[in-house]
Amino acid sequence: MTSTHVVNVVKAMTRAQKVGHGGTLDPLATGILPMALGDATKTVAYVMESAKSYRFTMRFGIRTDTDDSEGEVVETSERRPSDEEIRAGLDDFVGEIMQRPPSYAAVKIQGERAYDIARRGETVELEARPIRIDDYRMTGRPSPDEAVFEVTCGKGAYVRALARDLGEALGCKAHVSALRRLAVGGFDEDNAISLDNLRQIVDDDSLPQVLVPLRTALAGIPAFALTEPQAVRLCSGQSIVISPKLVTGLPVDHEPEDDGDGLTVQALKGGEVVALARLHGSELSPLRVFNPQERAN
């Protein structure tokens, strides 16, 4: 099941006018797929910027053209790394690193997805790009041929590429044989529901009870509490002047005079997000205004 398929199923089930998801999963993968209904689809871009956590199994000795078990074998190796070699090798993949995306990736090349080009049998060479890996560790070793890892990473990181590159570094070739996303920002398995459960929830007319606040999707974004007059002006498309000192969650190194393109801020009224806004110095301008009625639908 693809992420797009999930969107279509949820839309049909809930009859929401708009449905979006917070980050595509590989066909091989299971796990967390944040879903946005109605007005909440305006937050999808911010969800996709969030850190993500995965658990995956790496199979040593085989490299495939897709870097997972669904691809064709392109290289093999008899070498199997020790636990000590694996742990030592992981150090080079933590922090800000350069990563070349897999050939079968959603990255666009002159307007066309890389995986579409690769499926035609054409050679795909993607350039390495900077990504952030916050944590990468081995959590199990079921057999000499396999190891289980957990990784927390920023936007744009490919787990399949992490497995491919670690296999190359260890001189043993490798691919991902199982992959599960554990969390996307503030969304994790503790509050997740299956599609089967969602169907029952909708049938029981209890959907509002499982929807989470918009602030969950915007975790980590600074917030400003509006007065009633400020809320009316901002939600009408007008800019307002505020004291940046009253914005909570600002980066410690934030300097208003060095805003550049500005800073994204959640605008709150009565604890609810009513808008996303851009802060330039002391001026707050609306970016996305949320309609509570549309959110409910």
Confirm if 161 and 67 have CB atoms less than 8 A apart: yes
Confirm if 107 and 114 have CB atoms less than 8 A apart: yes
Confirm if 27 and 178 have CB atoms less than 8 A apart: no
Token pair 């805003």 in the structure block, residue: 259
Q: Do the bridges between strand 35-37 and strand 19-21 make them parallel or antiparallel, or are there none, so unpaired? A: antiparallel
User: Which residues, 6+ apart, have CB-to-CB distance to 164 below 8 Å?
Assistant: 63, 67, 102, 174, 175
| 261: DSSP letter | T
| CA atoms of 73 and 277, how far apart (whole Å) | 49
Confirm if 274 and 231 have CB atoms less than 8 A apart: yes
> Which member of 26, 39, 68, 165 is catalytic?
26
User: Which residues, 6+ apart, have CB-to-CB distance to 168 below 8 Å?
Assistant: none
Token pair 């639908």 in the structure block, residue: 297
Active site residue 190: no
Token pair 């554990």 in the structure block, residue: 182
Q: Which residues are catalytic?
A: 26
